Amino acid sequence: MAVIKPFRAVRPPKHLVGKIASKPYDVIDSEEARAEVVGNPYSFLHVVKSEVDCDPSVSLYDPQIYAKARANLESFIEKGYLVPDREPALFVYRHTWKGPKCPFPEGQTQTGVLGAFSCEEYQKGSIKKHEWTRRDKEDDRLNHILTTKAQTGLVFLAYKHQALLDTLVQETLRSEPEYRFSDELDVVHELFVVNDPKRIAAFQRAFEQLPELYIADGHHRSASSSRAQQSRKAANPRHTGEEEYNFFMAVAFPDNQLKILDYNRVVKDLNGRSEEDFLKAIQTNFSVQKAPNRPYRPLKKGEFGMYLGNQWYVLGAKPGSFPAEDPVKRLDVSILQENLLNPLLGIQDPRTDKRIHFVGGIRGLKELETLVDSGNWKVAFSMFPTSLEDLFAVADQGKTMPPKSTWFEPKLKSGLVVHFLDS
């Protein structure tokens, strides 16, 4: 049973939302964030990437970084950049993406329900994971949450679509959105407020019929919120389970509206092999032929593009070269890792090896050519996107995917709503 709870959000006035809404903290580095806030004192990056207002010499994990985030959040409220809602609400969040900047030829529209979700359900496994988290990254967001006393970024959840929720969402979309603005990628973001108690109760009943939810993106945000809940619970002798800190802020989308982009790889060198020897070695587990076009985008599962020596190749995983019944090992990212990256290129741990770099599909396949042609990288691999069905299968078995298996677009903006740990 899925639990969703309305909450009293702190959020921008309509006329500032387009200036305040920012990229999530984990898709932009500090240098890029510093550039983005130039001339925009409203950007929510001042809160989620507060190092932009500190000396660059200060460690990203220094306590003063988190203190600055808290000070900036308080300042945003004092200046009226963020305003507390008068009553608890749920929200419907819609993305619409069309045009030349959209990587999906037919465009992309996805609509989800934004609310507070149960940390306890996450801890019990009813909100399912598919990725490992890194302790240092968890610690970073945990310190950010505990210092600001707020969750400032949204977790991206998925659920197996349900007719009742579809109806409730469509009825909500007939009203006027509270916010409507376009971002730098020409994605239109719309937020609809659901504050009628009867409508909220209807959404809650519909969610109760969902047996589970899945984390699509935001594993570190959900893990750190869970740890913050445990910390606050331990420090509260009057803990009831209903306090705001028992819930984390997220948007849940139906699976039939979501799309996953490819997550591609580039490697520094051929691990001591010549190009000729490398091409021969690949043929143990893959068929190899020159690609019919460039750059080459794989057309099906088990197929890979490879860019080497100014030439694109098509690699096909040979039958029997991987255990087809295993939900993790049959993933294309696993096949490439176990049959090529590790044994041939010596990439044993892609999480830590500096010889491999991951390129999200939003950057396009031309980016792979650019990196290899620069001379700084030797070979690139284009991937067929992981399916949502594969993600569910891995999560349902309590297993985890290899790193950088999925790339969801469009991203959820930060700064549209803030969820404080205390009422």
Secondary structure (DSSP) of 218-280: -HHHHHHHHHHHHHHHHT-TT--S-SGGGEEEEEEEEGGG--EE-EEEEES--TT--HHHHHH
Residue 423 has pLDDT above 90, yes or no: no
CA dihedral 138→139→141→142, nearest 10 degrees, is 110
Radius of gyration for the chain, computed over Cα atoms and rounded to the nearest angstrom: 22
Instruction: Give me 315's structure tokens.
Output: 């690699």
**Owner of token pair 């971002």:** 183
pLDDT at 105: 87
User: Which tokens in the block code for residue 351?
Assistant: 């999480």
Assign domain 263-384 one CATH number from 3.90.190, 3.30.1760, 3.40.50, 3.30.1490.
Answer: 3.30.1760
pLDDT tens for residues 187-210?
999 999 999 999 999 999 999 999
pLDDT tens digits, 333-342: 999 999 999 9
| CA neighbours closer than 13 Å in the CB half-sphere of residue 146 | 17
The pLDDT score that the predictor gives to residue 21 is: 98
Mean pLDDT of 360-366: 91
Of 420, 47, 7, 6, whose CA–CA distance to 232 is shortest? 420
Helix (H) or strand (E) holding 380: strand 379-382
Q: Alpha carbon 115 to chain centroid distance? A: 17
Q: In this structure, what is the dihedral angle of CA atoms 142, 409, 364, 357, given to the nearest 10 degrees?
A: 20
Instruction: Give the number of C-alpha atoms closer than 13 A to the C-alpha of residue 257, restricted to the C-beta side.
Output: 22
Model pLDDT for residues 128-155, shown as the tens digit of each residue: 999 989 899 999 999 999 999 999 999 9
- Per the confidence metrics, is the pTM higher than 0.85? yes
Percent of the chain topping pLDDT 70: 100
Tokens of 292: 């019919």
Q: What is the mean pLDDT of residues 1-6?
A: 95
CA distance 102 to 261: 11
State residue 373's pLDDT score. Answer: 98
> What spatial distance separates the first Cα and last Cα of the chain, rounded to whole Å?
25
- Look up tokens 């903006």; give the residue: 413
Distance CA 289, CA 240 (A): 63
Alpha helical stretches, state H, 128-253 = 135-148, 163-172, 197-208, 219-234
pLDDT (0 to 100) of residue 403: 86
Query: Does the pLDDT at position 55 exceed 90?
Result: yes
Q: What is the pLDDT of residue 351?
A: 86
CA distances from 347 to 263, 270, 338, 361, 405 (A): 17, 10, 9, 21, 16
The pair of structure tokens assigned to 90 is 């749920």
Average per-residue pLDDT for the chain = 96
Cα four-point dihedral sign 177, 191, 256, 335: positive
Listed residue (392, 383, 380) closest to 301, CA to CA? 383
- How many Cα atoms sit within 13 Å of 365 on the Cβ side? 17
Alpha-carbon distance values, 16 to 40, 88, 97, 115 (Å): 11, 21, 22, 22
Q: How many other CB atoms are there within 10 angstroms of residue 392's CB atom?
A: 19
Tell me if 10 sits within 8 A of 151, measured CB to CB. Answer: no
The structural domains of the chain, with segments of one domain joined by +, span 4-259+409-420, 263-384
Say if residue 1's pLDDT is above 90. Answer: no
